[in-house]
């Protein structure tokens, strides 16, 4: 949660640190030095916090990508996770529907521009900051014998030794992007000797890197004699930061989501549209994640969203890595779906300095790509450039696009000026509909 300061959360977190990190005599001495009003507030909270104990601040990821070494704990002492918290306290939004404004910028389509800023003096640091490196891109397109795009083909980029470097699936345009040494600052792979396999069949020749410096994106086009038939399912997930500064955005979902999904369903009547959600907060909040499983029942998804509200947070970074893992492991994505899209609505970056977070995000992003799930971040009211570039790298590596709220609606906190080229301001609901249709049609 960014931009909003909550005194009670501050006191709660401060007390927890006192209880966890100093002895009882020192704790009493510290409280004794505070003013009377603060003492009363502290004594009112201290019983509950004493029961809650210390939140886990260190964790690591095991070989299966799961947390080990302990659990997160909520403020009431119970393990946080799906279903925890106070569902009876949902707050209805007061704003109007169709108000929030946004823009879209696709770095994959503006590759030369992205190369210029990510290597520039101001933003090159974000490669190392998030441990994500996008220099070695192999843009691929797969067509059938008739020249039509092949949807859902599995592409693997391999080194000369046969090691799989990256896996992805073609989208409705037959496009997939493969990457080498995504998690390494210095490339160790001989890019000229890489190979591509499609659905297990090795393709002739060596693919060319789509260099940042090229005026035109270098595309590797492959033709396959036959292709599998994708299903008619479309999976759409909404991953939502539910900490305190996200009230406007959650209100938007409450008012506009059903209308968005209804209009998409009417336009894309040949497909079965499945929607699911992951709401997340942070360590020590009432819950860490809450999910609603994929369903074709729009009213069920909308009803779940209406029960959610913004609260908690306290510091700016949130449990982004947990949200990504939960989306992959708790939602039942259709293996053979025609399209898979994950809108990630957030205003805060991940806890990059916590042990295991970077490794967790790296593994999750590669799994999103492998499953053919496009991440479309919707960056909300925040002044964090580290969050903007985290979002853009998520989108790039999963074949998605970057969406950001603008100040044109004059709703909520100020929105950061994006480091992008020219873009069109749209209503956010119309933009989301446009993007869903783009990746289905």
pLDDT on residue 186: 92
Q: What is the CATH number of domain 133-223?
A: 2.60.40.10
CA distance 173 to 141: 8
Q: Rounded to the nearest 5°, which phi and psi values hold at 139?
A: -80, 125
Name the superfamily (CATH) of residues 89-107+230-438: von Willebrand factor, type A domain (3.40.50.410)
Domain ranges in the chain are 7-54, 89-107+230-438, 133-223
CB 248 within 8 A of CB 411: yes
**Best CA proximity match to 207, nearest among 215, 197, 196, 198:** 196
CA angle 278, 280, 286 (to 5 degrees): 130
Query: 401 to each of 53, 109, 245, 297, how far by Cα in Å?
Result: 42, 9, 24, 27
pLDDT on residue 43: 40
pLDDT on residue 215: 78
pLDDT on residue 257: 95
Per-residue pLDDT of the chain (441 residues; tens, 9 = 90+): 554 434 444 444 444 344 334 333 334 334 444 444 444 444 444 333 333 333 333 333 344 444 433 333 222 222 233 333 343 334 444 456 678 999 999 999 999 999 999 999 999 999 999 999 999 999 999 999 999 999 999 999 999 999 999 999 999 999 999 999 999 999 899 999 999 999 999 999 999 999 988 778 999 999 998 778 899 999 999 999 999 889 889 999 999 999 999 999 999 999 999 999 999 999 899 999 999 999 999 999 999 999 999 998 777 899 999 999 999 999 999 999 999 999 999 999 999 999 999 999 999 999 999 999 999 999 997 889 999 999 999 999 999 999 999 988 877 667 889 999 999 999 999 999 999 999 999
**Best CA proximity match to 107, nearest among 116, 99, 96, 98:** 116
pTM score:
0.81
pLDDT on residue 394: 98
CA distance 404 to 418: 8
């Amino acid at each position: 949660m960014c931009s909003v300061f909550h005194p009670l959360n501050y006191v709660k977190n401060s007390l927890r640190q006192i209880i966890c990190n100093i002895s009882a005599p020192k704790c009493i001495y510290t409280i004794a030095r505070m003013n009377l009003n603060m003492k009363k507030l502290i004594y009112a909270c201290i019983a509950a916090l004493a029961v809650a104990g210390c939140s886990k601040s260190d964790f690591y990821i095991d070989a299966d990508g799961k947390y080990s070494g302990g659990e997160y704990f909520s403020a009431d002492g119970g393990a946080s996770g799906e279903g925890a918290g106070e569902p009876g306290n949902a707050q209805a939004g007061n704003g109007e529907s169709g108000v929030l404004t946004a823009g879209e910028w696709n770095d994959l389509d503006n590759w030369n521009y992205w190369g210029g800023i990510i290597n520039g003096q101001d933003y090159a640091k974000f490669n190392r900051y998030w441990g994500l490196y996008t220099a070695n891109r192999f843009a691929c397109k797969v067509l059938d014998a008739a020249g039509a795009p092949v949807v859902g083909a599995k592409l693997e980029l391999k080194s000369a030794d046969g090691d799989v470097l990256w896996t992805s699936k073609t989208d409705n345009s037959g496009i997939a992007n493969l990457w080498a040494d995504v998690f390494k600052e210095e490339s160790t792979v001989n890019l000229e000797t890489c190979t591509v396999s499609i659905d297990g069949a090795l393709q002739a020749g060596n693919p060319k890197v789509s260099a940042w410096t090229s005026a035109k994106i270098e595309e590797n086009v492959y033709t396959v004699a036959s292709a599998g038939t994708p299903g008619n399912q479309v999976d759409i997930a909404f991953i939502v930061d539910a900490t305190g500064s996200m009230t406007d955005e959650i209100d938007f979902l409450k008012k506009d989501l059903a209308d968005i999904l209804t209009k998409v369903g009417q336009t894309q009547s040949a497909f079965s549209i499945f929607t699911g959600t992951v709401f997340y907060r942070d360590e020590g909040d009432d819950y860490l994640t809450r999910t609603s499983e994929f369903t074709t029942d729009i009213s069920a998804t909308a009803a779940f969203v209406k029960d959610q509200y913004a609260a908690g947070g306290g510091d700016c970074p949130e449990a982004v890595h947990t949200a990504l893992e939960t989306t992959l492991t708790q939602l039942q994505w259709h293996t053979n779906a025609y399209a898979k899209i994950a809108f990630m609505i957030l205003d805060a970056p991940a806890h990059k300095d916590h042990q295991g977070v970077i490794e967790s995000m790296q593994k999750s992003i590669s799994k999103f790509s492998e499953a053919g799930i496009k991440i479309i971040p919707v960056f909300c009211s925040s002044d964090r450039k580290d969050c903007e570039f985290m979002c853009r790298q998520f989108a790039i590596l999963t074949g998605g696009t970057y969406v950001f709220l603008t100040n044109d609606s004059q709703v909520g906190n100020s929105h950061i000026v994006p480091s992008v080229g020219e873009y069109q301001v749209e209503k956010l609901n119309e933009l989301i509909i446009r993007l869903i249709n783009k990746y289905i049609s």
